[in-house]
Structure 1
């Protein structure tokens, strides 16, 4: 009996990439059928970018879900727009499941991004298990799952100065300053007073997303148990079936080496500029800083200006990705860079709209990564042996910077001033530290240790056990 897996990703690149990596791994196994339920907007964005991400396999099919959103790739819907689209997505997914359940290979289970909590009721209605794929670290899942501890400790809303407040009540999480905690889950008293509905919205979203975590068949986490064992242990103590199955890109690479011929998923929503690889070939080994802030972060013009001056004055070569739409106000890079910057740095720097990140990080010219500390980027950099210079922008990235700098000690951070802003001098100092082989030697040794840990971690065993469980589940549900 075939194991038919229905994938329902959250429509952002950081979530879509790992669920597709998982889908490819599952599709390479005997008797597996994969159906990807892709939102109409995601499909339109992928087509606009000429993405070649989707696997070319007869047992991997893509179906498009109506979402009611503007399909124009240049249009960015608000969170209210996305929430308003959920009933349309639910109805469309229900129609698809009804069709698939009546087919010769009914669906065995549904795997969705954790944020796609609206799939729970549909899976229940069709009596199929729902499995979550969490695309961030386990410590971030713990923050969300144990958020009620923050409330009971009087930390929500947050009173006083965040830099003077330490968070110590999340099981499995070391003490961390409120300034590095997830801002969305720790609104200040002033923010709640300005928007009285903010806290009720937050608590409802957390309940909808994480309130039934114990009831999910599995929660697959794109991480490594050995890197954050305390967070996994704290979830297991609460009977949450969290399982480390990452890094999924690395498992895909190993499957390739084993002869399974899995194409590594490419970029989804942006066209990669391969001219940067030719430029890197002209750089000396261990000479260049890679600068990129992921697929969603948006920076203020002043931050771009300070970063530019800091890079220039550091004296080091740099490859800088400035994604279209990544600057508040939707201005182009040309409208935001200091006058004469590109001309002055022409011999040492290159700016592109998007880069093939895995190839860049593996290039011998790259010696450091100035990053937003997004989880996919963090895992990729560590596997490639590249230390990280953190400048978090949103969501869980501040917590990841804390782990990068203070727990794993595989990087450092750009310090902010008393107003919470990054200055050009801070950028210069941090870049010069990271790029100096002697000053950053201890960081580079730690990166080597983590790379070895990643290579021998238990995730492949966990994933194989999960696959065997799905075979058993299919036989139980559909018969031999």
Structure 2
């Protein structure tokens, strides 16, 4: 048998592609072969990222299959994407694996690694006699939440199943007497509305994930970029869950990075407000304007990442927006070049798990601005459990006002306790890396068996 050969299959959105790609970079740096399978629509972006890597050309190959969606289809319609993938890719994957193995008979695919929504590929792997693993792109707590669905229904904590026509459907909404949920004794109380399925299409997504979590149990390993000290509770709920964090991958370069780095180098230590809402969420036009004016109102240096490719409607700056104290960019190497820079004082974040882990690993305090899904649970950990951040409050119009932005930024700058706890959390993550690496090696040894 040759070296381990991993077939990585992320759900085709950036929030899944990026963390699995980073995990595969870690595997590739250890000399293992990677075939990274994405959808045709994402191929150019992923292949460009791979080709710019320092080592990937020999160890990682990016390939694609159609996801069944046409140019006229709405790629943001997640139920439509999920159903299209299931009816298109599943029939093509066995032949694809056969063709990959025929190209390199000495290093055939050893293990299939999937993210959420791609559990069907684990069944294909099992049918072909291959090993399978899950790489979870969010927090361990969110995975444990999905894994607890049936128990929460059985205990009457969320609404029981209703028989509608011939389908069992539940909205996933909490029963009236359960406004907060405690999944186990060593986990925090979480608002029921913060459950990761709650702010999406509840009927479809809850039912889909209830089925998906059972399919994912075909995988012996549930790998998560977290640590047992960071989130101890989920590991008692989901025994398959293995912490392999914090993962540190080699990033690729981009031309915009040089000017960003030069600008940061010119700022005083702990002075810059860093703002990024990730790749999947964008503020409304009204909220965008309020944020822009709030940054002017603060009159402090800021670095603001605006994802121009993700806006269905262009976000226009207010006429009176100056922005002369800051720098606005479309992309940055967040962990390696920004959050680790000595000029960064705080991170205005949507609390996505990748951003949360990167901020924690760099010891940066948070100003929390969650939008949906597991971001709300992550905010609970940041503000209430780890106590390394402060949450923005919305006004009666559902907006975070410029006055609120100024107030909370000033509160954070004055809070020495948050700064101290952020640095202690960073030290803990450095120590936890030893255990994460040990777990990762055990997983690789299992693949080699």
TM-score, structure 1 as length reference: 0.82
SS of aligned partner of 1:459: helix
| Stretch of structure 1 that moved more, 99-108 or 13-22 | 99-108
Displacement after TM superposition at 1:174 (Å): 1.5
Displacement after TM superposition at 1:29 (Å): 3.5
SS of aligned partner of 2:260: helix
| Corresponding position of 2:9 | 8
Structure 1 residue 304 and structure 2 residue 288: aligned? yes
Aligned match of 1:464 in 430, 437, 441? Answer: 441
Aligned match of 1:455 in 430, 438, 441? Answer: 430
| Stretch of structure 1 that moved more, 453-462 or 116-125 | 116-125
| Corresponding position of 1:195 | none
- For residues 95 and 81 of structure 1, what CA distance do their matches in structure 2 show? 24
Displacement after TM superposition at 1:430 (Å): 0.8
Q: 1:119 to 1:166 in 2, by over 3 A?
A: same
Structure 1 residue 223 and structure 2 residue 222: aligned? no
- For residues 308 and 361 of structure 1, what CA distance do their matches in structure 2 show? 21
CA contact (8 A) 1:222 1:244 kept: yes
- For residues 408 and 376 of structure 1, what CA distance do their matches in structure 2 show? 17
Aligned match of 1:279 in 263, 267, 270? Answer: 263
Q: Is there any run of 5+ residues in structure 1 with no aligned partner, and where? A: 192-197, 253-263, 473-480
CA contact (8 A) 1:171 1:231 kept: no
Displacement after TM superposition at 1:104 (Å): 3.5
Offset from partner CA, 1:394-434 (integer Å, 9 cap, x none)? 21101101100000111111122355432222111111112
Q: Map 1:315-394 onto structure 2 (within 5 A).
A: 315-327=299-311, 329-331=312-314, 333=315, 335=316, 337-342=317-322, 345-346=323-324, 348-358=325-335, 359-394=337-372
CA contact (8 A) 1:38 1:63 kept: yes
Q: 1:76 to 1:48 in 2, by over 3 A?
A: farther
The alignment yields a C-alpha RMSD, in angstroms, of 2.8
| Corresponding position of 1:151 | 153
- For residues 62 and 383 of structure 1, what CA distance do their matches in structure 2 show? 29
Displacement after TM superposition at 1:467 (Å): 1.6
- For residues 332 and 346 of structure 2, what CA distance do their matches in structure 1 show? 15
- For residues 288 and 36 of structure 1, what CA distance do their matches in structure 2 show? 36
Q: Map 1:214-253 onto structure 2 (within 5 A).
A: 214-236=217-239, 241-249=240-248, 252=249
Q: Is there any run of 5+ residues in structure 2 with no aligned partner, and where? A: 160-170
| Corresponding position of 1:266 | 252
SS of aligned partner of 1:283: coil
| Corresponding position of 1:85 | 85
TM-score, structure 2 as length reference: 0.87
| Corresponding position of 1:475 | none
| Corresponding position of 1:257 | none
Structure 1 residue 24 and structure 2 residue 25: aligned? yes
Structure 1 residue 178 and structure 2 residue 220: aligned? no
| Stretch of structure 1 that moved more, 448-457 or 314-323 | 314-323
Displacement after TM superposition at 1:136 (Å): 1.1
Q: 1:271 to 1:113 in 2, by over 3 A?
A: farther
Aligned match of 2:415 in 440, 450, 470? Answer: 440
- For residues 255 and 38 of structure 2, what CA distance do their matches in structure 1 show? 19
Displacement after TM superposition at 1:383 (Å): 1.5
- For residues 228 and 376 of structure 1, what CA distance do their matches in structure 2 show? 15
SS of aligned partner of 2:308: coil
Displacement after TM superposition at 1:87 (Å): 2.3
Aligned match of 2:144 in 137, 142, 145? Answer: 142
- For residues 121 and 11 of structure 1, what CA distance do their matches in structure 2 show? 19
- For residues 109 and 402 of structure 1, what CA distance do their matches in structure 2 show? 35
SS of aligned partner of 1:427: helix
Q: 1:313 to 1:455 in 2, by over 3 A?
A: same
Displacement after TM superposition at 1:355 (Å): 2.1
- For residues 349 and 228 of structure 1, what CA distance do their matches in structure 2 show? 35
- For residues 146 and 49 of structure 1, what CA distance do their matches in structure 2 show? 36
SS of aligned partner of 1:6: strand
Displacement after TM superposition at 1:452 (Å): 0.9
Displacement after TM superposition at 1:66 (Å): 2.4
Offset from partner CA, 1:281-314 (integer Å, 9 cap, x none)? 2222211100010011022111112212222222
Q: 1:293 to 1:23 in 2, by over 3 A?
A: same
Offset from partner CA, 1:233-285 (integer Å, 9 cap, x none)? 2212xxxx110011222xx4xxxxxxxxxxx1338xx9855422222222222
- For residues 383 and 96 of structure 1, what CA distance do their matches in structure 2 show? 38
CA contact (8 A) 2:119 2:216 kept: no
| Corresponding position of 2:166 | none
